[in-house]
Each structure stands twice: as C-alpha cells, then as structure tokens.
Amino acid sequence: MPGGAANSKIPKGWPAGIVYLQAPAYSKKLADKALEALLVPKASLSSVTVLPKATGPFSTVKIVKISSESHPAYGQNGLFANQHLPPDSFVLPYLGFVHDRSETDEHSDYDLSLDRYLGVGVDASKMGNEARFCNDYRGVGSSANAEFREVWTDIGNGKAEKRMAVYVLSAGKSGKRSKGVAKGEEILVSYGKGFWSERQNAT
C-alpha cells in the first residue's frame, strides 16, 4: 500500500516503489575480499564496540514531507526526531544496496562510502530505511546536528557487520551542542562540500 500506513513493518510516509530494508542488501557481485572485510568474527573486534542489531521501523524518527517553501528540499521528504535525541547517541543504521565500484551509480544521491579502500558503498536510492531521508544542513539550519559514522553490528552467529549509521553529533568541547536534537527538529547531516560541487559540475 502506498505510504505503508497499513503495514506496521513499513514506516509511515515510506514512498511506494522503494524497498524498505531491515538489513543491508548485498550485491551478488561483491568479491569475497569485500565480504570478508564487511562480515568479521565478533571476537576479532575486541577493542571495538559492537552494537546490538536495531530493526525498523524506528519510532525515534519520522519521515516528513517538507511543506515549507523556504526549505531547499521543499516537496521532498526529510527525517525528523520523534523524541529528544541526546548528543552522541545512535539514531539508526543507514541501510541500502551494498556494492563495489563496478556497480556504483554516479547519479545516485543516496550513496555513502562504506569501505573506501575496497571501493564499497551503500546506496539507498532504490532500497533502504528511514536514514535515506536525512537532508544536508545547507540552507536549512546553521550547522549539522547529526553525522554518518561507521559502526559494527552484532548480526548473530558470532559475526559482526560493518555498517554506516546516523549519530547525533557530540556536545562539543564547549558544550554548544549539549542539547542534542529536540523532538520535532529535523535531523541534518553534512554531505560534504564534494557532494555539492559534484552536483554543480553535473548540471
């Protein structure tokens, strides 16, 4: 059903035609070397925090259609906090199609790097979760309030999986971001200058 309102496994506002994922979708073309880098024995990560698996829909966030004409993504969607999100807190994983360079879609606006050395990325253009709706802060707020971080997730059977995730920014040395993200506030990241300069070059 469009929007997924009748299906509790799909968040409200989810667009028709995009697959809602509960876990990353690995390309069949991924080489063993890439899979070995992304899926490792949990015991090999002794000095790293391994997060428990978090499954959606995520009640801490909501997908909202941007109705303010002054917002640069007017008419599109954005991701908003459904409750207060403290500094440095995990919000949700960034799920999508996990692929190597041979399958990189240069036109995708939803592709995050997952392993730069191996050229592996996670592209949420056709499949993903709520994280794909995080907008960039430029033209919306004075700065980002969240960021993408690399995480390791416990996927059972003694294995951990490398993923990207959305985190609230830390409070900062001076504590200027100590409030975190307030309920109702848009979750805004920085895509980096490269994202926008590449876009400009393409147009």
Ligand X SMILES: C[S@@+](CC[C@H](N)C(=O)[O-])C[C@H]1O[C@@H](n2cnc3c(N)ncnc32)[C@H](O)[C@@H]1O
Q: Using CB under 6 A, list all residues that contact ligand X.
A: 72-73, 76-78, 109-110, 132-133, 135-136, 138-140
Q: From the CB of 46, what's the least distance to ligand X, in Å?
A: 34
Nearer to ligand X, 23 or 73 (CB): 73
Q: What is the identity of the amino acid at 147?
A: E
Phi-psi region of 115 (alpha: psi -120 to 50; beta: other; left: phi over 0): beta
Which of 126/179 has CB closer to ligand X? 126
CB of 156 to ligand X, least distance (A): 29
CB of 71 or CB of 179, closer to ligand X? 71
What is the smallest separation between the CB atom of 138 and ligand X, expressed in angstroms? 4
Q: Distances from the Cα of 76 to the Cαs of 34, 104, 192, in angstroms?
A: 34, 24, 20
Kindly state the smallest distance separating residue 75's Cβ from ligand X, in Å. Answer: 9
Taking the CA of residue 100 as centre, how many other CA atoms within 13 Å lie in the half-sphere pointing to its CB? Answer: 13
Residue type, 25: A
Taking phi over 0 as left and psi of -120 to 50 as alpha, with beta for the rest, 78 belongs to beta
Q: Which is nearer to ligand X, 42 or 62 (CB)?
A: 62
